[in-house]
Every structure is written in C-alpha cells, then in structure tokens.
A and B are shown apart, each in its own frame.
Chain A
Amino acid sequence: MSNPALPGRSNLRRALSSNGALLAVIALLILLVLVGAGLNDRFATVSNLTNVFEQSAGLGLVSLGQTLTVLTAGIDLSVGSMMSLISTLASGLIDGDLARAAWVIPALLVLAAAIGGGNGLLIHWLGVHPLIVTLGTGTVMQGVVLLYSLTPTGAMPFELEWIAYDRFLGLPIGATITVLLFVLVALMLRYTTIGRDVYAYGDDPEAARLMGISQRKVLIFVYAMSGFFAGLAGLYLSIRFGIGDPYQGQNYTLASITPVVVGGTMLTGGRGGVIGTLFGVLLVSLLNNLLNFLQVSTHLQLVVQGLIIIAAVSIYIERKRGLA
C-alpha cells in the first residue's frame, strides 16, 4: 500500500503473485495428501476425502464471501454473528414446515445481503476501519439473535437434508454447489465491471477514485456478498444439523480468514482471489482431518493452525517484497 505502484505494472505483478500463491497452495495440498497417505492408510481413501469435502462446505461458503472483503483491504468480522442470526431465525420461523421454508429462506438471504450491504455503506459513510464497523455491527447482531432466542430453537425441514447429506455421482451435493459458487464468483470477479473494480479499489483506492470507480458501490457490493454467503453458510449448517443455533457462527469469524490468507489473498488488498481460498479451505480441512487420524490432540491442532497462518503470511509477504 505504501509504495505507489503504476497501474499498468501492478496488473502484471498481481497476476504473477496470485498465480504463484495459487500454485503453492495446490502443491501443498497434493503434498499433504501424499504425506497423509504414507502416514495412515485410511486417510487418502475416496470415502475419507469425500467426507472431508462434505464437511468443508460451511467454512467454504463463509470464506468465499470473506475473500471479497479482504480483496478490498477490508475484513468482515460480523460473519459469525450473521451465521448465528440467519440460522436461528430460519429454524425458529420455519419450525420444520417445508411450505414456510419456501419464503423464509429467500427472505433471510435477502436480509443477510441487505445487512451486509449496510456494513459496506456504514464503512463508506463513516470512514471508519471495516474491522471496527463490522465488529460493532456483528456485536449488535449477536445481541439481537440472543434476544430472539438464547438456545437453539425450532427445526429445519428434514425434507431439505439431502442438500447436506446426499450424493450426486458420488459427490456431496452441498459441497459441490459450494465449489460451483466459488467458480461463479471467480468468473464474476474476472469478467464483470464490478469485479474488476473490486481489484482496482483494493490495489489502490486513490487511483481507483481517479479512474471514476465508486467506493460506495464497491464496498456495498463486497460486504453484501460477504453477508449473503455468511447467511448461506448459516442456512446450510442449520439444515445439516436440523436446527439453528444462536452461537453457531461463533468460531467461524476468525476461522473464515485462515483459508483466505492461506490461499494467497493479501490483507493489504488487490491481490489473490477466490480460487486460492477454495484450495485454502480444502487444505485447512484436510490438515485437521489428517491430524485427527494421527491422533494429535485438538489442543495441539490449534497450535498448528496458528503456525499455518504465520507461515502463509510470511511466505507471501516475502514474495511481494521480492517482486516489488
């Protein structure tokens, strides 16, 4: 951010750096599977890998939205509360009735996107760092959902469980849809004006302003997307578990950032992309699964998670320095 790069060159640098990061994370993923296969003969089986894939859908959805805010050098710390809010409202309002789900689910997704867009608008209006704004709005949302219900309430219709548990051509449906959404967002970022604006704004907000890109539009867009996908993750998990939970998203706020960073999207904005995040999600999920197989205590898994963040960030920073 501190060095004013020429817009023309920064495109090239961006492409080099994000592709490099993408290749690195894919190589790590392959390495992990190979090492895992050597360490435990049940790890690299189709059924285990499919299970890991199925279980990573929730994290995938939140991280997908989070990537967009990070691309603008922002962050959305309200995603966890958003998941809790949407999942609890869904489960409470639907209460097991499929007919009600038909309007409650779309309405809640609109609500999630609207609240997210509100975050973007607030950040634009107030000129306050997104960290603080979304921390504040996330806290308010957590309070609101606890006012609605202190405990898991209602039920999701079991007729929808196929989304989480059924397989199509051997692939878990929910996780496969998640991957398709990743691809869709990647295409949107690449081929639409708003997508390119997100990168331009993240790379250099001042230059973007001079190019006539509206800060308000970009911020509303990325935070609305982040809210929408967090809401979707909340719905997915409540369908999977059959009920919404006012604390469902608690651990997801910070967890959603690890795959983004591991996937090569820089917190300084403008570099990286959602496909990197997709592989970041798979890497994190597979690593946790492997550590479980190796009977590493869940406590030490936390240490590993911290090390991954540091390693990822340090490696990519060096890359940026080397190229800059």
Chain B
Amino acid sequence: MSGATQTGAPAFGGEFFARYGIYLFLALLIAGGGLISPSFVSAGNINNMLVQLAPLGIVVIGQAFVIISRGLDLSVASVMATAAVMTSLYTSDNSSAPLIVASALAVALATGLVNGLLVTKRNVSPFLATLATAIMLQGIRFWLTSGAPSGNIPPLFKQIGAGSLGGVPISLVIFLVIAVVFWVVLHRSAYGRALYIVGGNPIAGRLVGLSSDRVIIVAYMISSTLAATAGLILAGFAGVVDNFVGRGFELDSIVAAVIGGVALSGGRGGIAGAVVGAAILIAIFNLVLLIGAPVQFQIIIKGAVIVLAAAFYVKKSKS
C-alpha cells in the first residue's frame, strides 16, 4: 500500500477508512453472510469460493499493474480464452504441455506488447487499444478453432486446475505464489516505484529520467501473462475448452481493482486491496445465490457495487 501513502494526507478517520475500510467490509460481509446463511461459512463453501477466487485474483493483479500505470486492460478475457484454447490444440497427453505453455505465453507477451506499444508510442487510449486487440484475438481464436474448439486437455492441466495438494486446491497455491511475487515486484522493487511515479505523475516520471514507455509496456505484458495463466487454470478446472473461457473477466477484474482502491486515475492502490476487491466480488456473487435470490440480482448488485465503490474512493480522495 506504499502508493496510497504518497498522495495527500486526509484526516485521520478518513485515512483509516480509505486504507482499511476494504478489509473491514470483507470481514463484515463474511460475518453478515454467515448470519444470514450458515452454509455460507461452511468449509465446503469457503473452499468453493477460494477456488473461484484464484483465477479472478490472478487476473486482477495484472489489471492492477495496468491501472496503476493509468491504463486499462480490456483484453484480459480474450487472452484467457486464447490461452485456454491452446490446451486443446495439440495432443491430449502431457507431452504437449511445454508446447501449450509456450504458445499461451507467446500469445500473452505479444498481446501485452502490442497493447503497450499502441498506448505509449501511438498514444491510443488504453480503452480502444486493448478493445481492438481483444477483438482481433477473438477473431484469430475463432479462425484457429473454426468456431468451436475440439480436442482434449492434457491431464496435467486438469490436475492443476481442479486438483488439490493435501486438501489445498493447487490453483489457490499458484494464486498465492503469484500474489506474493507480484506484491514484491510492485511494492519492493525499483520497477514498482517507477510504475507508481509514471502512473501518478507522468511529467515527474520524465523529469527523474524514467523511461515511462518501457514501464507502461511491461505493465501490459504482466497483465496479459497473468491473464493467460488464469486462462490455463480455468480450462483445466472446467476440463473442456470453449471459445469464451473467462468471459466477463475483463470487467470483473476492473471492478475488483476499483473496489480494492486501485484508482483509475493512476498511481494509487496495491495488490492486497485488489485481491480483497476480488474476494468481495466473489463473496457477494456467492451470497446472492445462497440466499436463493434470482441470479439476476447478482447482476444488479454487481452494477450497484461498481458505482458505489468508485464513488466511495473518489469522495475519499477529495476530502
């Protein structure tokens, strides 16, 4: 959260809520959910939610890097689906695993690079640049698979996506490792500091001699690489691949980041907040279904949460 302390000095109470309100909210949500529906806090359901959290959490970490750079990545869902499709493109035994990972990585790095280059060198708005690459990737994916992917996923990916190690889901372990690694990158490395400066104040970044273009391009490449990882995990979890693995993740990841205090104006927020934002989103979706409300309420509540969370942080930073 080192970024949050760099900007302004709100009143004590305000700062407390801005920094810790999100954790408080998650705690209240879980406690309240448990009161409303005891099965919400059952071991099975918590395990269930954590498995759902893993892919969204991985994507939101990458999204946070891009948003801190004052950008936005709408291509994550398309990257996820394209990586997922790679699992069924080769042979269905484990021998094709290196090839699958390599092609998913290649797609991710290329997409991130193109996004980053368009945003920095061509000055294209992140919204349009990542929208355009998302659409193009979708076209390429459909074309590759002739509309519907066929073929089987190597068992290795199924194990990673759906298996568990001593009761702990493997996907959750991968997510936690990624979270720790990228927490260090963002909050303890020179690159992380550069990213906050470039996103928070591009002119200052240039003055202290940062190559802001390179910093931003790397953020987009991190985002698509993490999206591809999440795509592989989701494909393994489902065990079958379709062309829309990860549908909705582009918006959900942005919403989660915003709930978690990653400001769209750049330069603010952190990994912990973004991950908690994702957890809140997952918990709300889960709770809506548990209390037996029509699934449409999931959609309505999601919409309301988007606006309210964004408004909460804007008002905070103004006061």
A8 adjacent to chain B (CB < 8 Å): no
Min Cβ gap B134→A in Å is 8
B310 adjacent to chain A (CB < 8 Å): yes
A303 adjacent to chain B (CB < 8 Å): yes
Say whether A139 contacts B131, CB under 8 Å: no
A38 adjacent to chain B (CB < 8 Å): no
Q: How far is the CA of A305 from the CA of B307 in the complex (A)?
A: 30
Residues in chain A near residue B131, CB distance under 8 A: 254, 257, 309
Q: Which chain B residues (264-313) contact chain A, with CB distance < 8 Å?
A: 264-265, 294, 296-307, 310-311
B102 adjacent to chain A (CB < 8 Å): no
Q: Chain B interface mostly helix, strand, loop or mixed?
A: helix
Residues in chain B near residue A133, CB distance under 8 A: 307, 310
- Decide yes or no: A146 and B296 within 8 Å by CB, A129-B264, A135-B306 being known contacts: yes
Residues in chain A near residue B299, CB distance under 8 A: 139-140, 142-143, 146
Say whether B306 contacts A132, CB under 8 Å: yes
Min Cβ gap B165→A in Å is 36
Residue of A nearest to B243 (CB): A299
Say whether B314 contacts A136, CB under 8 Å: no
* Number of interface residues, chain A, beta carbon within 8 A: 43
A90 adjacent to chain B (CB < 8 Å): no
Residues in chain A near residue B142, CB distance under 8 A: 297-299, 302
Q: Which chain A residues (257-288) contact chain B, with CB distance < 8 Å?
A: 257, 261, 267-268
Residues in chain B near residue A139, CB distance under 8 A: 299-300, 302-303, 306
Residues in chain A near residue B301, CB distance under 8 A: 143
Contact with B along A126-161 (1 / 0, CB 8 A): 111101110111111111101100000000000000
Min Cβ gap A135→B in Å is 6
Say whether B124 contacts A310, CB under 8 Å: yes
Q: Which of A20-28, A182-190, A200-208, A313-321 contacts B (4 or more CB under 8 A)?
A: A313-321
A301 adjacent to chain B (CB < 8 Å): yes
Min Cβ gap B211→A in Å is 18
Say whether A127 contacts B314, CB under 8 Å: yes
Residues in chain B near residue A309, CB distance under 8 A: 128, 131-132, 135
Residues in chain A near residue B147, CB distance under 8 A: 299
Residue of A nearest to B298 (CB): A143
Q: How far is the CA of A301 from the CA of B318 in the complex (A)?
A: 45
Contact with A along B24-43 (1 / 0, CB 8 A): 00000000000000000000
Residues in chain A near residue B314, CB distance under 8 A: 126-128
Contact of B127 among A137, A138, A267, A298 (CB under 8 A): A267
Say whether B135 contacts A140, CB under 8 Å: no
Q: Which chain B residues (117-155) contact chain A, with CB distance < 8 Å?
A: 118, 122-125, 127-129, 131-136, 138-140, 142-143, 147
Say whether B124 contacts A303, CB under 8 Å: no
Q: How far is the CA of A141 from the CA of B315 in the complex (A)?
A: 25
B251 adjacent to chain A (CB < 8 Å): yes
- Decide yes or no: A132 and B310 within 8 Å by CB, A144-B300, A267-B127, A313-B128 being known contacts: yes
Say whether A75 contacts B139, CB under 8 Å: no
Residue of A nearest to B300 (CB): A143
Residues in chain A near residue B123, CB distance under 8 A: 317, 321
Residues in chain A near residue B264, CB distance under 8 A: 129, 131-132
- Decide yes or no: A136 and B304 within 8 Å by CB, A75-B127, A317-B124 being known contacts: yes
Q: How far is the CA of A141 from the CA of B128 in the complex (A)?
A: 24
Say whether A128 contacts B307, CB under 8 Å: yes
A211 adjacent to chain B (CB < 8 Å): no
Residues in chain B near residue A301, CB distance under 8 A: 139
Residue of A nearest to B305 (CB): A136
Say whether B122 contacts A313, CB under 8 Å: yes
Residue of B nearest to A129 (CB): B264
Residues in chain B near residue A254, CB distance under 8 A: 131, 135
Min Cβ gap A190→B in Å is 26
- Decide yes or no: A303 and B303 within 8 Å by CB, A127-B314, A313-B124 being known contacts: no
Residue of B nearest to A304 (CB): B139
Residues in chain A near residue B296, CB distance under 8 A: 143-144, 146-147
B97 adjacent to chain A (CB < 8 Å): no
A306 adjacent to chain B (CB < 8 Å): yes
- Decide yes or no: A135 and B139 within 8 Å by CB, A309-B132, A317-B123 being known contacts: no
A99 adjacent to chain B (CB < 8 Å): no
Contact of A267 among B118, B128, B132 (CB under 8 A): B128
Residues in chain B near residue A298, CB distance under 8 A: 142
Q: How far is the CA of A283 from the CA of B127 in the complex (A)?
A: 22
Say whether B303 contacts A143, CB under 8 Å: yes
Residues in chain A near residue B118, CB distance under 8 A: 310, 314
Residues in chain B near residue A137, CB distance under 8 A: 303, 307
Say whether A302 contacts B139, CB under 8 Å: yes
Contact of A306 among B133, B143, B303, B305 (CB under 8 A): B133
Min Cβ gap B287→A in Å is 16
- Decide yes or no: A313 and B139 within 8 Å by CB, A126-B307, A132-B258, A143-B296 being known contacts: no
A-B contact pairs, 5 of them (CB 8 A): A127-B318, A131-B72, A299-B147, A306-B132, A310-B118
Q: Which residues of B contact A (CB under 8 A)?
A: 72, 118, 122-125, 127-129, 131-136, 138-140, 142-143, 147, 251, 254-255, 258, 264-265, 294, 296-307, 310-311, 314-315, 318
Q: Which residues of A contact B (CB under 8 A)?
A: 75, 122, 126-129, 131-133, 135-144, 146-147, 254, 257, 261, 267-268, 297-307, 309-310, 313-314, 317, 321
Given contacts A132-B258, A140-B299, A303-B139, could you give 7 more A-B pairs where the C-beta distance is less than 8 Å?
A136-B307, A139-B299, A302-B135, A302-B136, A309-B135, A313-B124, A317-B123
Closest CB pairs A-B (n = 9): A302-B139, A139-B303, A306-B136, A143-B299, A143-B300, A140-B303, A136-B306, A299-B142, A136-B307
